[in-house]
Amino acid sequence: MTATDIVYSLSEDTWDERELAAAARVMASGRFTMGAEVKSYEADFAAHFGSRYAVMVSSGSAANLLGIAALVYSGRLKAGDEVIVPAVSWSTTYFPLTQMGLRLRFVDIDPDTLNIDVALLDAAITDATRMVFAVNLLGNPCDYSQLRAICEAHDLILAEDNCESMGASFQEKMCGTFGVFGTFSSFYSHHIATMEGGVVLTDDEELYHFMLSLRAHGWTRDLPKTSQLYSKNPDPFYESYNFILPGFNLRPLEMEAAIGREQIIKLDGLVSQRILNEAYLKEALGGLRGFRRQRPLQQSSWFGFAFIIDPDCDVSRDQVVKQLTNSGIEVRPIVAGNFTRNPVISYLPHSIAAPLTAADDIHKNGFFVGNHGHDMRRELDYFASVMSDVLNGK
């Protein structure tokens, strides 16, 4: 096969006539921001994952900001507190923490799972540490048995950035439901697509109420009458523009929520197909050598397929990426590699617990390709063929 026969894209469209009908329904309604569709989607989302509360926002990045801000304004974290984070993740795992006055403490990743190395956590904890912000990278769940035990032993908050891992599970419990909150993304290239969009899940009623206010300017309008956060005036005119917190505008669109209601129905099927695609890829690669792959700890939802070229391989990562790209296969770094190697780090108050050896390996030798919710046997055969050619010097 050649690049003229097939194109292996990073993402795909998961919509059909049902999503188009949902969008048309919103257009006809005349209500375009944060109304009945958003409330229904939040209820559907919370029920799907078994959580008490869901708050829809404009993106997964906004979900992280909202969850962190709720912890700060509720008094559970304060400026200067230290938060342990993995050295490999997306930028908006880190930015909301520093934007809310917190200090990052980077811990290396496990070279196989690509998630935070729990064996390094105890040694990384200092007197200033107040939280662990765990990231389920590229669909792969963290070891929540150990993470929870460590957090409980040191009285640390545990929260989850699950934006890349919707549908993943650990010990039959859904990722995004282990911490005090968990965040999700429904950006176009993710497991479900609402154009832009994100959700925060929590079982904590107080945090939920803080998030309802912070999501929309810090006003009181969206708080329930029974909220302990604030006693609402019975006059709705008074509560129209009444502000109690220095909030944001993270509101989602009704159209995104309407599409999301259709997408969440499809989620289990989309994830199941992604799992089948991974099993086929493993078989297609056969005994090909020169790289290692991300190892799932438990049930990964396989956001994509990560590869780390062996340092002693005769072919470099850059050579592999070039040949894949020239063959019509879209390739990306493994998220942002070792994030402390990004120039933006100079703006972020942080410390590094120990050498980030595995993260550096990812930074220099790693890449990933996409996974989709449809049968990808044709694309995966093509990918395996190109990988075989480049690794064998053809």
The residues annotated with a catalytic role in the active site are 190
Q: Which residues are CB-neighbours of 145 under 8 A, at least 6 positions away?
A: 170, 171
Q: Which residues are CB-neighbours of 239 under 8 A, at least 6 positions away?
A: 219, 220, 221, 232, 233
Closest CA to 366 of 392, 335, 339: 335
Sign of the CA dihedral with 276 first, then 280, 283, and 289 last? negative
* Whole-number Cα distances in Å, 41 to 213, 261, 282: 18, 5, 36
Structure tokens at 314: 């005769």
Q: Which residues are CB-neighbours of 142 under 8 A, at least 6 positions away?
A: 113, 115, 116, 118, 134, 135, 136, 160, 170, 175, 297
Angle (CA) 107-111-116 rounded to 5° is: 30
Contact between residue 137 and residue 115 where contact means Cβ atoms under 8 Å apart: yes
Structure tokens at 378: 């044709």
